Chains A and B, each alone.
Chain A
Amino acid sequence: MGTLRASLFLLLVAGSASAAGLRLAAAANLNQVLPELVSVYEKLHPDVTVAVSYGASGTLSQQIERGAPYDVFLSASPEYVDYLARRGRVSARRVFARGRLVLYYSKRLNPPPRDLADLAAKKGVRVAVANPEHAPYGRAALSCLRSAGVYEELAGRLVFAANVSQAAQMALHGADAALIALPLARNPALERAGGYLELPQSCHQPLYQEAAVVRQSAAAGSFLDFLASPEAQRLLRAYGYDSP
């Protein structure tokens, strides 16, 4: 029995220590461009294997605070990097892109909405947004609904998703529209099922995407440098991000 327990313990310890490489905790809006960024990075650094976990920036920062083993945090807002910096959890940091918010609508909405006010005027329309409590895109979405003066009207018909990517998925499966990041609206599955309108960037706080080193290593530092490289910036622009 004792040896069984000891060997089980060893197995567990070995299991947790064997995974090596660069672990990224990335904001959900990045899940369209990041796989491509990572494959370019891995070609430039063949000795590094990158593993990515996506989530809402607020959720990921909470995980990092509780000791989650990530090397680099890619946040959809500098606010969550600030939060970790105040707790001494990040070293280097760099804003690498600026995101755009769009109104995505399903083909079920016919005729398509011309703007947010037009959307709110459609009867029984359900709109998915990321949870503003921990998702920057959710906060930006509510801010734009407020500035268009339709928040009160839509409040009872908002569906809250865990993160902006889930909001996009909800727009495919059930909701009629969603306020999401531009790269998600350009995803082939969403493009087939609807269309999108860009929202004015003035209706919300800038959606700066910021990278921060959580566990210092050569690979973590080189990944931050890579994000600022012309090649990475070109890819980010192609997916619908602006340079910071």
Chain B
Amino acid sequence: MTQAFLLSFKLAALTALVLLALGVPLAYWLAFHDFRGRRLLEALLLLPLTLPPTVLGFYLLVLLAPDGALGRLGLRWAFTFPGIWLGSVIFSLPFALTAYKEAFRAIDPEVLDVVRTLGVGRVKRWRRVILPWVWPGLLSGTLLAFAHTLGEFGVVLLVGGNIPGETRVASIYIFDLVQSLDFASAHRAAAVFVALAFAMIYAVRSLEERWRSPTG
């Protein structure tokens, strides 16, 4: 059980980190810039929200197989940890991106204008004005991506299979226990999951309230 949960945490942490690094600049850009094809790009980035995990998993599997388009470039990631990590990044991107964008949109543009006319430099503007404003939103988006990755199942099962220590994350582990008729262990792992998921969502909600409240 420990191995599966640790693997889940590793996957979720690496996914959330990459989403933070890529998603924040992307969300900032989408929040404050208008350009041709913006709606198209946004729809594409939000696509995993409505796509069945099996569709995403199937495409990734085809691409990452040894004879797949990416596999031939050396990314032979089918049934490996990097494979489920890539799947998780794509699958959780809409959650992180939406939260980040909301956070940036909450900034009063007039305040930014005033700060700019006062001649405050870009770095200082970020450190003193933007980040203090948006950090709860960024943190809640990242936590949400982390939690969503923990709860992921379909993409991981298709791309990663069920390999102990490599792709058998906690959700797959429980699936495996149920299939192996080991209901006592399944109950234990499921209870841990409920506690974890609750703590995570509670943290996200608390952050959201802090970020929405005028004094926050």
Identify the A interface with B (CB < 8 A): 1, 4-5, 8, 11-13, 15-16, 19, 23, 28, 31-32, 51-55, 63, 66-70, 162-163, 165-166, 168-169, 172, 184, 187, 189-190
Contacts and interface: CB of A to CB of B under 8 A. Distances in A.
The 8 A-B residue pairs with the shortest CB-CB distance, nearest first, are A68-B79, A51-B164, A66-B65, A19-B165, A67-B66, A53-B162, A31-B180, A16-B81
A22 to B, nearest CB: 11
A19 B82 contact: no
Nearest to A18: B165
A51 B163 CA distance: 8
B179 A53 contact: no
B154 interface: no
Given A31-B179, A51-B165, A68-B163, 5 more contacts: A53-B162, A53-B163, A69-B163, A187-B181, A189-B183
A140 B166 CA distance: 33
A163 B180 CA distance: 11
A1 B21 contact: yes
A164 B21 CA distance: 44
A1 B24 CA distance: 13
A68 B165 CA distance: 14
B10 interface: yes
A15 B161 CA distance: 16
B102 to A, nearest CB: 24
A103 to B, nearest CB: 18
A51 B164 CA distance: 6
A68 B81 contact: no
B179 A163 contact: yes
B21 A67 contact: no
Nearest to A34: B180
A190 B80 CA distance: 34
A24 B10 CA distance: 23
Interface residue tally of chain B, by bracket?
A: 20 to 34
The interface centre, meaning the residue of A19, A53, A168 with most chain B CB atoms within 10 A of its CB, is: A53
Given A53-B164, A67-B66, A69-B166, A15 B180 contact: no
Contacts of B66: 66-67
Interface string B45-69: 0000000000000000100011000
16 contacts: A11-B14, A12-B14, A12-B85, A51-B163, A54-B180, A55-B161, A55-B162, A63-B78, A66-B66, A68-B163, A162-B179, A165-B179, A166-B179, A169-B178, A189-B181, A189-B183
A16 B164 contact: no
B179 A169 contact: yes
A28 B168 CA distance: 16
A12 B81 contact: yes
B171 to A, nearest CB: 15
B179 A19 contact: no
A69 B168 CA distance: 13
B71 interface: yes
Interface in B1-40: 10, 14, 17-18, 21
Contact of A53 (B17, B85, B168, B183): B168
B176 A69 contact: no
Contacts of B161: 53, 55, 63, 68
Given A16-B80, A51-B165, A67-B76, A28 B65 contact: no
A168 B182 CA distance: 12
Nearest to B25: A1
Contacts of B65: 66-67
A63 B79 contact: yes
B162 A67 contact: no
Contacts of B179: 28, 31, 54, 162-163, 165-166, 169
A165 B180 contact: yes
Interface in B134-159: none
